[in-house]
Structures are given as structure tokens and as C-alpha cells.
Amino acid sequence: MIEPAPHHPDAKLERQAAARIAELTELLGYLTACWDDERRQLARQLHDTLGSSMTALTMHLGLLTQHIPAENVAMRERSAQMKQLLGNIVETNRKIQLALWNDKLEFLGLKTALGELAAEHGREHALAVRTSLPDEEMAYLRAQDIALLRCAEEGLRNVAKHARASEIDVILDDDDEQVMLTVRDNGVGPGADGIQSRNGHSLRLLRERARFLGGTLTLTAGAQGGAVLTMTLPKKPAAA
């Protein structure tokens, strides 16, 4: 009895599927670029309008406080409360601007932006955040800079939210053929509060960003515990 020939997928359907995937990847790359531009514009607007207005109000309040008689303790206390409230609003506005868009990436480069991001995250969450960065500022495509910084932001945010870690390493490696950004922590690894709970929509978008640039994004368990988030991008991506 002659065995039937094994079934092979239709080559035409495979090509159509591959073309469709390529189209969707390109579309997502375009949408994320538009999203980045909108976030940048919104951050600038917050800086130019709300930020400058709050700074002006703080200055006016300071001038008014100088004219409050020393014996009017109640008014001076109220003035101090208003000054503190304005200071909190200014700081909140600054954090929102930074979450939307990190201007240091544009004006000072990726290395500086990563270093200051790690330092501020360590101060805010009382964590030991170490960085290992190239000695000199490296020149990448704008889309690569944004993707790598977003990877660092997401990695640090996930550690603070899920990992219960005390130490984090942010590492940027460049071997002239590819660039690799790694965020590694010593907290919770796989489990109910570990890697599975970290693999949300933000990481899926990051993974698609990396795919659009011809690279990869992985989230794995660390050899000594914790988790390792790694984005690897070729120096000459498939799309830009």
C-alpha cells in the first residue's frame, strides 16, 4: 500500500501571511513613532505652560510673603503651606513630563539619560541601582535610542512594582554589530508575583518595537534569582 504524500503548507499562503505580518509590523512601528512624537509635544506643552505658570506663582507668593508682618503668624503659616503646595505641584508636573518624554535623550544622549534615570529611580524607591555604560556617548538611530530608553524605564518600573528587589543593574553593551540593554534585579523571579505578572501590555509593545527595528526583547529568570529584561538591536536595523 502506498502511503499518501505528507501534507505541505501552501507556499503562496505562507508568503501572504509573511507579507501581512511585515505590513502589520511596519504599521505598528509607524504608530509608535507617532505616539512618541505626541508624548514629546505634550511634555513640552506642560513645561512651557503649566511649569512656567507654577514657577511664576511661586515667585509672586515669595514676594507677597515678604510683606506679611512678622507678628502675623497665621498668615505666614498659611503662606508657607501655599508655598509647599505649589512646590508639590511643580514636582508632580516635572515627574509627569519626565514620564512622557525624557528631554535628556535629545540634548545629552542615551548614556546620560540612562544614568540619570537609574539614579533618580534609586533615590525615589530606596534601591541600589548600578549602571554599566560605555565610556563615550554612542550614536544610534533616534528610534533605537527611544526603544532602549523605554526598555530601561519599563524594566525599572516593573522591578519597583513586582520584584521586591533591593538591587538593580542597568547595562548597555555595544559590540559594533548590535547594542544590548539589560535590566537585571535580585528580586522575585518566576511565580505568582514574578515574571508572569510582569509580562503585560507594555512589554508586548516593547517587544514589537524591538521586532520593528530588527531586534528582540526577552524576559527571563536570572541565574541567581530575580529577572533579566534584555533588548537587543542590530546596529543596522531592518527598518528605521
- The reported pTM is 0.77
Give me the domain span that covers residue 31: 11-100
Asked whether residue 2 is assigned to any structural domain, the reply reads no
Give the pLDDT band of residue 137 (cuts 50, 70, 90): confident
As given in the structure block, the three cell numbers for residue 141 are 538611530
Higher pLDDT, 155 or 199: 155
- Whether residue 126 is found in the same domain as residue 141: yes
| Predicted local distance difference test score (pLDDT) of residue 222 | 85
* Ranges 39-43, 45-49, 59-63, most confident: 59-63
How many domains are contained in the chain?
Answer: 2
- Whether residue 134 is found in the same domain as residue 41: no
Q: Is 233 exposed, middle or buried (0-12, 13-18, 19+ CB in 10 A)?
A: buried
Could you report the per-residue pLDDT of 104-125, keeping only the tens digit for each? 888 889 999 999 999 999 999 8
Residue 11's Cα: distance from chain center in Å?
Answer: 40
Asked whether residue 188 is assigned to any structural domain, the reply reads yes
| Predicted local distance difference test score (pLDDT) of residue 159 | 87
CA dihedral (205, 160, 97, 229) in degrees, to 10, reads -40
Q: Is 222 exposed, middle or buried (0-12, 13-18, 19+ CB in 10 A)?
A: middle
- Whether residue 32 is found in the same domain as residue 127: no
Domain edge (last residue) among 48, 73, 100: 100
- Whether residue 186 is found in the same domain as residue 85: no
Asked whether residue 5 is assigned to any structural domain, the reply reads no
